Structure 1
């Protein structure tokens, strides 16, 4: 085998590609909703329900996949999950009934959840603590990258070859990723054999106060993130007078900034030797920026945009820190399970945030929604207030025994 200090980057690249493959259908199918409506004869609520089944399948299985990754290793778990997603998406390409396709998409979401749980564990086991934050951030950037690439490719493919071709292409991406995982993802040299390492019971994860508070922080920080990303185009159109096309271009720019932010936050956490410290600062900055945007919303449009755009970008820049911290804080042998718990909290919040934000904005206006994002970000800071001992001090114990 090549030198571990070099091969770890191969494992990271394959894990990131696997994450991009699942994100391509988690996020990318939204780019062909008009084609899906025509193909299946659905109205807006119907197509929303169809795509929502993916998230349902994912949330229900994240913790189970995390536990499996801790027990059997990430290669087998990701390979099985990606193959399951490939089969489900391939079947969706030939099934005409939208209800059946919804069940297949739920299966694809449930299968793809394996990558969310297991690829983070691969980063933890292969990378030392002083590089782990950056590595985890690279893995997290695969989420918007995969969704963005799908959004670029799928509309043209659906227009020229039809919706079945879009499903088939997504399934093919997952199949290729499964082969890559099976070939190149391995355990680090010197890792204990599967089934021989010390492993805490699952209930220990749920009783770990610091992990639960970290999950509360993740849930809270996703609220302003999801509201900002979901309603940025509407905000820029209503409050700043941007055309839909220009507002959409700004959203694309915010996504690009969030990628830079995720990488930068990972480097920052490595340099200061802390995941929780940068998270605390980020929560305060997000709260202040959303509060300032709420105050400026009726004011000068240019100033409002100057504040709002960075606020939304920063709100989407911290995710890798939470998952690295969760894995490092985990009880022995439960890194993937701990990350899955935090990931579940984040995905539930991502579903709740836009709904709550839409209700608040409709009832009380955009400033009220932005103020709500600020308040919830402060709640995240409060959840992170305890536990002055940094997650990295636990890294050697929990990760090495995983």
Structure 2
């Protein structure tokens, strides 16, 4: 697979994650319309994120045993096809279809990061690994940016059901087309046997054996919670608390996700330059704390340009840590276990993702969004401490 070159590998691992991220983040972008359609409070948008990531975790744990039989890249493009069909189901107007689509999209999203890690590990060694992985991980905020910029406009010009069907159908068709045309995917070789013979929870047991990485994984649980809170509830916050319309709120989400792209590349470059992955992760956590304090200070009278600046800082920090974290995992295990280690470590991130949005939404409903952002800032400070503490103490 390495004969195709790093750029082909980068595209083949980024494209599926970009498309699936766009689809997974599409319902939160139109959360106000979805919750209104079913007579639910707007804060319940966080429940969607939590429910979907329960199935993301299941899909992640299942990846290690599936990759050798299918191939990591074939698996990734297959997830696009199935995920597009799931998003189309989301727009059929039935709560049962919404629940089914949420589960299917989570199961399709879960394998993408471990599969991408294994595809990269199977290739030639890559210089500046943290930067390479950070560039690849820009697929997540890039997908969110596309969702924020495209989906609200589609809803305004048509309706919710039509917009979801268009996005899902287009994703399915492009996934089929790209997967069949790309040589790096079409010629991918299957492994003769699984890289490890283990049970469903084996990736978690592997992670528990690395004490220093375990501390960073707990930090990733906090960081993951902040990441999904911003992705899933920023639109609701801007509309409900700051009094802006859907298009403006979608633009703020798009700005935050564009900032995440810049942040991931910048943090990855910094980590490679200074050679301190843990220190870089700690600095990102301190940035999250500062951004949350700034969000706490926003009011309806705040100019849009200031709101955009805060959205930029939130995106650059809460969604900027992933590539550096994944680089630390790849350095800690043999190449054959790269996907395995990612599956185990991401369980901590997904636990934060599952718990963060509904807890934040509940706190926002009880005490208001400003207090909820202050609590997030305090948690981010704890995550920074876990990363900055000496490895021996971890």
Which range, TM-score by smaller chain? 0.7 to 0.9
Is this contact kept in 2: 1:28–1:150, CA < 8 A?
yes
Change (3 A) 1:104 1:376: closer
Which residues in structure 2 correspond to 1:93-132 (within 5 Å)? 98-100=95-97, 102-126=99-123, 128=125, 130-132=127-129
Counterpart CA distance in 2 for 1:306 and 1:148 is 14
* Deviation string, structure 1 residues 62-121 (Cα, Å, up to 9, x no partner): 12114433676413433444454456567x399785424632542343133222320133
Which of the pair has more CA radius of gyration? 1
Change (3 A) 1:127 1:256: farther
Counterpart CA distance in 2 for 1:231 and 1:37 is 13
TM-score scaled by length of structure 1: 0.76
Shift of 1:279: 0.6
Shift of 1:218: 0.7
Is this contact kept in 1: 2:29–2:235, CA < 8 A?
no
Change (3 A) 1:273 1:315: same
Count residues with an aligned counterpart.
380
Q: Which residue of 1 aligns with 2:138?
A: 141
Shift of 1:138: 1.8
3-state SS of paired residue (1:384) = helix
Q: Which residue of 1 aligns with 2:215?
A: 213
Gap runs ≥5 in structure 2: none
Query: Of the candidates 44, 52, 55, which is equivalent to residue 53 of structure 2?
Result: 55
Query: Bigger shift: 74-83 or 206-215?
Result: 74-83
Counterpart CA distance in 1 for 2:27 and 2:235 is 19
Which residues in structure 2 correspond to 1:3-402 (within 5 Å)? 4=3, 7-31=5-29, 42-44=38-40, 54-69=52-67, 73-85=71-83, 88=86, 92=89, 98-100=95-97, 102-126=99-123, 128=125, 130-154=127-151, 159=158, 162=162, 164-180=165-181, 183-184=184-185, 194-195=192-193, 202=203, 203-232=205-234, 246-291=248-293, 294=296, 296=297, 301=302, 308-313=310-315, 314-330=317-333, 333-386=336-389, 388=391
Superposed CA RMSD: 4.2
Shift of 1:304: 7.6
Change (3 A) 1:287 1:164: closer
* Deviation string, structure 1 residues 254-303 (Cα, Å, up to 9, x no partner): 22122111111111122222322211121123224434664x56899579
Shift of 1:36: 6.4
Change (3 A) 1:31 1:282: closer
Is this contact kept in 1: 2:282–2:387, CA < 8 A?
yes
Is this contact kept in 1: 2:31–2:236, CA < 8 A?
no
Query: Bigger shift: 365-374 or 151-160?
Result: 151-160
Is this contact kept in 2: 1:16–1:139, CA < 8 A?
yes
Counterpart CA distance in 2 for 1:341 and 1:185 is 28
Shift of 1:338: 1.7
Shift of 1:155: 5.4
Query: Bigger shift: 113-122 or 221-230?
Result: 221-230
* Deviation string, structure 1 residues 299-356 (Cα, Å, up to 9, x no partner): 9957985984454132222122112222322366321122123333323323322322
Counterpart CA distance in 2 for 1:252 and 1:61 is 27
Counterpart CA distance in 1 for 2:301 and 2:147 is 36
3-state SS of paired residue (2:138) = helix
TM-score scaled by length of structure 2: 0.77
Counterpart CA distance in 2 for 1:254 and 1:9 is 26
